[in-house]
């Protein structure tokens, strides 16, 4: 399982309108620019690039401590309304629902995909991704 597949599964679990993997993958591609695939590093870069409060929030997600919350409007500012709109359109939801959902999903996805401040530092091949996936789907 690659990282995009994991992100697709998380999206399908957390957003009801992402009922199939094709729809979820298409929405993720719209969110991160399409042809590069799902690059979580580029998403984190959108938060850390400007410094300030958003960079501190992203650092909390990457670190091993508690995660700072991000508001839907902060998320829109960091990622861009056009990308949020494209993501929402692929899922058949409005910008507000997309922003609300992403403001909860992205910090968790980044947190569970990092260790000690580095993305994917805790993942080691298929077994590592399977373990990472289990963190999202425990009930």
71-95 residue pLDDT tens = 999 999 888 899 999 999 999 999 9
pLDDT grade for 98, boundaries at 50, 70 and 90? very high
Q: Which of 77, 68, 14 is nearest to 49 (CA)?
A: 77
User: What does the pLDDT read at residue 128?
Assistant: 42
Burial (CB count <10 Å: 0-12, 13-18, 19+), residue 95: middle
In angstroms, rounded to a whole number, what is the distance separating the alpha carbons of residues 129 and 5?
Answer: 10
Query: CATH code for 3-137?
Result: 1.10.10.690
Give the H or E element holding residue 118: strand 118-119
């Amino acid at each position: 399982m690659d990282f995009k597949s994991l992100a697709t599964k998380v999206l399908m679990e957390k957003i009801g309108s992402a009922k199939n993997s094709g729809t979820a993958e298409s929405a993720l591609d719209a969110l991160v620019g399409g042809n590069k695939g799902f690059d979580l590093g580029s998403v984190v870069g959108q938060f850390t690039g400007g410094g300030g409060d958003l960079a501190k929030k992203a650092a909390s997600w990457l670190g091993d401590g508690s995660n700072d919350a991000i508001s839907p409007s902060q998320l829109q500012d960091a990622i861009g309304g056009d990308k949020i709109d494209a993501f929402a359109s692929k899922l058949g939801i409005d910008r507000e629902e997309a922003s609300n959902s992403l403001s909860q999903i992205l910090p968790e996805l980044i947190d569970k995909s990092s260790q000690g401040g580095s993305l994917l530092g805790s993942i080691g091949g298929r077994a590592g991704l399977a373990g990472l996936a289990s963190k999202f789907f425990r009930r």
